[in-house]
Amino acid sequence: MRILSKRIDVRASLDKYKGMNIGFVPTMGALHEGHLSLVRASKENCDITVVSIFVNPTQFNNPDDLMRYPRNEARDREMLSNLLGDEDILFMPDEKEVYEGEIIPDVSLGNLDQVMEGKFRPGHFRGVVRVVKIFFDVVKPDMAFFGQKDFQQLTIIRAMASQTHPTTEIIGCPILREPNGLAMSSRNERLSKDIRQKASLIYETLRSHSAPAITDSIDSIKNSVISAIDSSGDFKAEYFEIVDDVELTSLMSVSEALPGRNYYGCIAVYAGGVRLIDNMQFSFPVTKG
């Protein structure tokens, strides 16, 4: 794999591969199997794979979270060198290289960045859109791979790409979980061993609520999910919403669920100072799920 830090070098390398399929996997490093599953998907579907590692300051609404974000470049390089081939690229730019000369994109997100993560992390998705737009401009990928773990981000990237890079196909990849069900995340490294084990509660709670009965009300499902998390004492739910995967509109009643639409239960949970997110598809009596 070639490790490059300049946009111009990435572009020059890729220009040699005219007609080949370029796959792109953006990450913030501290890689785990979830990230590697995206890299594998790109390797399976594309001729050349570009992976980026960049801890993007503009998407952190909390400076403390940015400072404490795990970084492990040597280990990341080692993990990727086992997967990437000679022609593949690991792009590791610094902040100046990414943002110098940026024209902030005028992407319309409507309601998509106002709810859930957008509500509790104001400006987060504007930062994500800014950096992904810059990377897409450099890499011009045919396919870009994102995890369903960041469900709202995936929905927003689809909306962005349809406006700014309509020829890039956005591929959503399944959530990889630890053996106890906890969704893999770079932030899990900041959990104590005990809390990391107990965090299976998030997955179990989503799973046990994911097939509501026609007689359940959305409020009762929400209350039940939040009280299951909060009553443990170790965790505190920030929000739980059931939304569709196109407009991210919260479902207000079970009878509103439309056939042919996919609904996801989305949750953010504090485990001490560590903020975790997860989601799961919910199947309602009228949906195929």
Q: How far apart are CA 216 and CA 223, in angstroms?
A: 11
| Count of residues that bind ligand AMP according to CB under 6 A | 17
Contact with ligand AMP (CB under 6 A): which of 1, 4, 28, 277? 28
CB of 232 to ligand AMP, least distance (A): 22
| Set 32, 35, 165, 209: catalytic member | 35
- Residue closer to ligand AMP (CB basis): 135 or 284: 135
As measured in angstroms, the least distance from the Cβ of 279 to ligand AMP is: 11
Within positions 232 to 261, which residues make up the interface with ligand AMP, using CB under 6 A? none
Backbone phi and psi for residue 171, each to the nearest 5 degrees, phi listed first: -110, 120
**Catalytic annotation present for 35:** yes
Q: Give the nearer residue to ligand AMP in terms of CB position, either 200 or 287.
A: 200
Residue 147, strand partner residues: 173
Q: If binding is defined by CB under 6 A, does position 59 make contact with ligand AMP? A: no
Residues in region 109-148 near ligand AMP by CB under 6 A: 146-147
Distance CA 111, CA 248 (A): 8
- By beta carbon distance, the residue nearest ligand AMP is 147
> How, if at all, do strands 263-271 and 235-244 pair?
antiparallel
Cβ atoms within 10 Å, residue 85: 10
- Which are the contacts of 120, defined by CB distance < 8 A and separation ≥ 6? 238, 239, 268
Query: Residue 176 or residue 257: which is nearer to ligand AMP going by CB?
Result: 176
Residue 70, Cβ density class (10 Å: 0-12 exposed, 13-18 middle, ≥19 buried): middle
CA distance 91 to 44: 20
Q: Name the minimum Å distance from CB 156 to ligand AMP.
A: 12
- Residue 184 or 206: the one with the smaller Cβ distance to ligand AMP is 184
Binding-site member from 27, 52, 168, 205 for ligand AMP (CB under 6 A):
27
Q: Which CB atom, from 107 or from 277, has the smaller least distance to ligand AMP?
A: 277
Of residues 180 through 199, those in contact with ligand AMP by CB under 6 A are 183-186
Which runs of consecutive H residues, i.e. helices, occur in the chain? 7-15, 33-45, 63-68, 73-81, 95-99, 117-120, 124-139, 151-164, 193-198, 200-209, 218-230
Cβ neighbors of 230 (< 8 A, separation 6 or more) are: 236, 237
Residue 181: CB partners within 8 Å, gap ≥ 6? 200, 202, 203, 204, 207
Q: How far is the CB of 256 from ligand AMP (least distance, A)?
A: 28
Smaller CB separation from ligand AMP, 29 or 212: 29
- Least separation in angstroms between CB 128 and ligand AMP: 9
By CB under 6 A, the residues from 149 to 178 that bind ligand AMP are 149-150, 173, 175-176
**Phi and psi torsions of 11, nearest 5°:** -65, -45
Separation of alpha carbons 238 and 132, rounded Å: 27
> What's the closest the beta carbon of residue 60 comes to ligand AMP, in angstroms?
11
d(CA 98, CA 138) in angstroms, rounded, equals 10
> Of these, 36, 37, 191, 245, which contacts ligand AMP (CB under 6 A)?
37
- Catalytic residues, by residue number, are 35
Residues that bind ligand AMP (CB under 6 A): 27-28, 34-35, 37-38, 146-147, 149-150, 173, 175-176, 183-186
